[in-house]
Amino acid sequence: MSLAHRLRRHRVFVGTCAAAVAVATVAAAGQTAVAAGQPELAHPAGLQGEQSKQPVATGTGGAVSSVDPDASRAGIAVLRRGGNAVDAAIATAATLGVTEPFVAGPGGGGFMVIYLAKQHRVVTIDGRETCPAACTKNLFVENGAPLEFEEARHSGLAVGVPGMVATWAQAVRRYGTKRFAQDLRPAIHRAQRGFIVDDTFVQETKESLADLQAFTSSRKLFLKHGQPLPVGTRLRNPDLARTYRQLARTGPSFLYDGPLAKAIAHTVQHPPVWKGTPLQVRPGIMTVKDLARYRAEEPAPTHVNYRGFDIYGMAPPSSGGSTTGEALNILSGYDMSGESRVLALHHYLESLRYSFADRNRYVGDQDYVDVPLHGLLDPDFAATRRCLITDRAATSPVAPGDPYRPYAGCSDRTAAASASADHEQSTNNIVTADKWGNVVAYTNTIEHFAGTGMTVPGYGFLLNNEMTDFDFAPASPDVPDVNLPAGGKIPRSSMNPTVVLRDGKPVFAVGSPGGATIITTVLQILINRIDFGMSMEKAIEAPRVGNFNTPTSFAEQAFLDSRAATRLEKEHGQKFSVVTGPTQLDKEIGAATAVELLPGHRFRADAEPVRRGGGSAMVVHQR
């Protein structure tokens, strides 16, 4: 395969956005100015009005739902100034790069699903990171054996070419109403002024502490004497403010062709390792040419019709739209609202079991592998999977089906099952809507909490470790591996931003972080809302459970404590394991956000009430 063909996905380059943005340094009232980049402990009064979160908001004028109130306020501010849902999504995402730097920022990438009200159509932007041109299938193989995940993660090898800024600039240029510089203004202000460190930020710091400690630039920005910042600290990031200002002045070329490209490539090739770290940090292979080649792509969305609702999502290399769509097609053959809740949940878990078998076997970067997307989303193929489901849980791993016509009927393929790691735990999801009826669902990430742990010196943001979403080695010699590294290739993702229409009009949009649990979270919210008739608030709150074609289904403790779990085990042979870990973040599945469009040009924004410390739902005019 030629390099030109490998880079076919990079067909649309983001234009340069002019217009300078001047943002003055704003100090908090009653606080003493401190040296640039140094954290300070905020006075308790400084916490008021900045950290308030509400998980539900109803009103008019537009809506934003994200994990963070400062970020949601940024999106609302843009809507109030006449920006549309795309502008609000970019403002929110850029501000998350400031306030949620361990899950967002210019060093990452993501997928955006947009409903365009005037055109009555859904478009998507693939801004996922790509492997440098020098990548081979042995990227993470040393001495004939694959590296351990953690060994690979905190290395330059794990860094993919960032697609975040290309996505932002392209979305604004093609579908926004404001200039790129205007949409970055709230993030510049927040980076300069700072934000208040809360419990969730401290938990995320602890989650990635060894990695942050390993790099001098990250120690300087995010730690104090090598340890997490205390709750209540005001963390300013003047380096990131300068980065955003330069992007506002010159557009994305600053990152892909300018000084920042050189800084990123140098950081990857020569990581700023702290001499006291016990970690072995391997250099990477990214070059400035890799950055210059990057383009965001606009593939057609996935689409299935489920009980009269049109469900739109992301096509490969995301597996979100295809896996969710296949599972919904399987479930369409059951009366989910009429059968008992326990039986419906059994069908839900089995639909995931078979959909993940097909996802693991077939889904990868479509520029490199033949993904039978039409078959995976064909209701007739789903019928060949549904007929395998009985009243008893199947024994996993189940084999993949045959999504090529003519379909094989009610039987598994003889091919062996395959599995694939998915570590996108530090994802975030943004949903926005505007008064004109445009809707955006945008899931983006730097992959693990704090990505590689590596901050670009002088620029104020962390670099992703997205390349660890590739399989490090084939799962089996008998199973073709669609997700091995290659030059210019995109690793498979589970990100699943979803927009739902009915009769051609948007009803709601939803998405979540959580690695492969993104798929199960979004699917469970969809059936909670559509089949079980829950409000969106209750659909998000409900205890979560899912299956990846594994012998046991993973569940939150609240689900395991329910009567439904007991009956599923007794009546249907389902087996469960609880999600566990050293912090509360490890015990939760997803952190969903959603916006629902109501009659009378009203909106309802919903976010998590508890998971990840709760989310932030806002509307322009609350009423």
H helices, E strands: number in the chain: 21, 22
Sheet containing 40-41: give its strands across.
40-41, 233-235, 195-196
> What whole-number distance in Å separates Cα of residue 309 and Cα of residue 508?
10
| Active-site position among 167, 427, 468, 521 | 427
Residue type, 294: Y
Asked if 432 is an active-site residue, the reply is no
Write down the residue that tokens 């009803």 correspond to: 507
> What whole-number distance in Å separates Cα of residue 544 and Cα of residue 542?
6
With a CB cutoff of 8 Å and minimum separation 6, the contacts of 48 are none
> What whole-number distance in Å separates Cα of residue 372 and Cα of residue 433?
33
Backbone angles phi, psi at 421, to 5 degrees: -70, 150
Residue count of the chain = 623
> What whole-number distance in Å separates Cα of residue 475 and Cα of residue 436?
48
Which H or E run contains 235? strand 233-235
**Cα dist. 471→44, 141, 476, 480, 527 in Å?**
47, 11, 11, 12, 31
Backbone angles phi, psi at 597, to 5 degrees: -95, 125
* Token pair of 154 as six digits: 């905190």
Q: Catalytic residue positions?
A: 427
